Amino acid sequence: MSTYRAPLRDMRFVIEELVGLQDISALPGCAAVTSDLVSAVFGEASKFASQVLAPLNRVGDEQGAQLIEGEVRTPPGFKQAYEQFVAGGWNGLSGEACYGGQGLPNLVAMPVQEMWNSANLAFCLCPMLTSGVMDALTLTGTPEQRATYLPRLTAGEWTGTMNLTEPQAGSDLSAVRTRAVRESGQYRIHGTKIFITWGEHDLARNIVHLVLARTPDAPQGVKGISLFLVPKFLVAADGALGARNDVHCLSLEHKLGIHASPTCVLAYGEHEGAIGYLVGEESRGLEYMFIMMNQARLAVGLEGVALAERAYQQARAYAQTRVQGRAIGQTSEERVAIIRHPDVKRMLASMKAHTEAMRALAYSAAAALDKSRRHPDDGERKRNQALVDFLIPIVKGWCTECGVEVASTGVQVHGGRGYIEDTGAAQLLRDARITTIYEGTTGIQAADLVGRKLARERGATAHALIGEMRSLLPQLAGCANAAVAVAHAALAQAIEDLSAATRWVVDTQSSDPAAVAAVSVPFLRLWGVAAGGWLMARAALIADVRLNADVEPEFYAAKIATARYYAEHILPQSSLLAKIVVGGAQSVLAFSEQQF
């Protein structure tokens, strides 16, 4: 297995030159976020990722988490790595300063999270969920809950989880049956939750569960669900830990990948009932939980980027060193590295182009999130919040699907060696496969995109973003670089495809929602492909200017070459996807249940 090295140059290109770090630095509370600070943070994060986390990725996959007498034990080295993680202040990177965090914007924190995920996805799922709990309590917790829990969560002294689904419910949270019975200012929780990531472990002293449950008089359906804070160990007013709460791990799931991440079945209230505390108001639990879910969906989309990057690095390293066959047209008997074979070049170019486009889209969403929370103008905050809401299902759905595709291509580059566990290529594919499922499958993301994000505003944000894409075309047309001209032509067609498909979805949603649902996943993919092409074209335009200034010629030349590959090999998918969206619904709906 190759070592991991964070792609610092591309990360900095995206946040500084493509997305615009200066815009984020101008936001209230971000004046200290300079290029020098970013360089320092990224440098230290890269060292931690490559030197501490990455070496544990293999042992975590091989040994996994284990349940021993009701207690979960993490693989060797994980507890020590978490202690270093906490001691370095990494858990509070974007946490609020008033609770001990560093208060860095998401645009800076996201590349760091990408490094963690590339190095060791299973490990990083734990702090990712803790971050979501912090967000939920910051926005909906009581002052007492925030004062007691947030400093310890921010420090990483305690970790957090979210408990949504149950055996009978799956993704249908309206079927949640866990009960919460009022008792003297608190609640007794009874029920079983499944698929709880890092629901029990030995890394931290306490685990803070956010749990969906119903009070006895709650209405049926999603409107009757409330959110409760249920700590593993009860907490005194001063934060001291008390008795063990009545929540226990019954079993760990045996999974395809991310073996080091304990996925738990948790039992609440097998005895007297687990003590829980209401978060916010009763019957608004799902609304509050979506704060965590949106955070998690953006984070999971980033996992797709991270695993694609790791798979690309491994495939590239293997192709550079694996000697096999003669170069096409070669007459001597000399064997060459497989990176000289055209089809291997094609696969590596596809991996590289997808990964860079995904990174640009995910970081763009992070910048919009920062503006939605920090911008001094209310109108700008609302506009960026609408953009974040719109982009999250695309980032989550498209980036994770591409992550699986890139990881699979990485296995292919390795050939037969890729199918053998020793290279590590297979682990990346296995780990990536979950990302399209948890925090809502790709189908659920697509349903959210067409049924909520487009329908509730008649496509206003979508059309505005298409307009922004279209405004780039004159700049591309004015560039003399032949590769940029290719990007211009491909993007112009993709924008027309995207615009037509979006109009069809908006016009059809109210009259025939089943037809829209039948093609919602191709529609989500169309948005990912087109938005990725737009950002790659912008990157090529920036790179052309920098290249003409004789600055880092190899980097910028590679950026332009990658954008051209994307324009010629990936962006043309937009026409096919648009055709499927506009005309493919009836062939899906025509099947009867008996015909399957």
pLDDT digits (tens, 9 = 90+) for 467-524: 999 999 999 999 999 999 999 999 999 999 999 999 999 999 999 999 999 999 999 9
1 near 420, Cβ under 8 Å?
no
With cut-offs at 50, 70 and 90, classify the pLDDT of residue 2.
low
Bridge-based pairing of strands 225-231 and 71-73 is unpaired
Cα–Cα–Cα angle for 98, 205, 194, rounded to 5 degrees: 100
Provide the pLDDT for residue 330.
85
Question: According to CATH, what is the number of the domain 158-285?
Answer: 2.40.110.20
Q: Is the pLDDT of residue 411 over 80?
A: yes
Q: Is 270 a catalytic residue?
A: no
Bridge-based pairing of strands 206-214 and 158-163 is parallel
Options 333, 401, 439, 554, the catalytic residue: 439
**Whole-angstrom distance, CA of residue 51 vs CA of residue 569:** 36
Q: Which residues contact 590 (CB under 8 A, 6 or more apart)?
A: none
**Please, what is the average pLDDT of the chain?**
96
pLDDT digits (tens, 9 = 90+) for 522-556: 999 999 999 999 999 999 999 999 998 888 999 99
pLDDT digits (tens, 9 = 90+) for 59-115: 999 999 999 988 999 999 999 999 999 999 999 999 999 999 999 999 999 999 999
Three-state secondary-structure class, residue 480? coil
- Residues of the chain above pLDDT 70, percent: 100
pLDDT digits (tens, 9 = 90+) for 284-298: 998 888 887 888 999
Provide the pLDDT for residue 1.
59
Taking CA atoms, 20 is separated from 89, 514, 549, in Å, by 26, 40, 20
What residue spans define the domains of the chain? 8-65+74-155, 158-285, 450-591
**Whole-angstrom distance, CA of residue 505 vs CA of residue 354:** 26
65 near 196, Cβ under 8 Å?
no
Question: According to CATH, what is the number of the domain 8-65+74-155?
Answer: 1.10.540.10
pLDDT digits (tens, 9 = 90+) for 431-463: 999 999 999 999 999 999 999 999 989 999 999
pLDDT digits (tens, 9 = 90+) for 198-253: 999 999 999 999 999 999 989 888 889 999 999 999 999 889 999 999 999 999 99
Taking CA atoms, 495 is separated from 22, 489, 506, in Å, by 28, 10, 16
DSSP string of 273-337?
A: -EEEEE-SSTT-HHHHHHHHHHHHHHHHHHHHHHHHHHHHHHHHHHHHH-B-SPPTT--SS---B
Provide the pLDDT for residue 512.
97
Taking alpha carbons only, the member of 308, 354, 387 closest to residue 19 is: 387
Residue type (1 letter), 504: W
**Whole-angstrom distance, CA of residue 397 vs CA of residue 108:** 22
590 HSE (CA, 13 A, CB side): 4
Mean pLDDT (whole number) for 334-344: 95
| Tally: H helices and E strands in the chain | 21, 12
With cut-offs at 50, 70 and 90, classify the pLDDT of residue 580.
very high
**Whole-angstrom distance, CA of residue 470 vs CA of residue 463:** 10
Backbone angles phi, psi at 96, to 5 degrees: -70, 140
pLDDT digits (tens, 9 = 90+) for 161-200: 999 999 998 888 888 999 999 998 899 999 999 999 999 9
pLDDT digits (tens, 9 = 90+) for 342-352: 999 999 999 99
Residue with tokens 């064997």: 335
Q: What's the DSSP call for residue 592?
A: -
Three-state secondary-structure class, residue 371? helix
- Residues of the chain above pLDDT 90, percent: 92
**Residue burial 358-393, b: 16+ Cβ < 10 Å; e: rest:** bbbbbbbbbbbbbbbbbbeeeeeeebbbbbbbbbbb
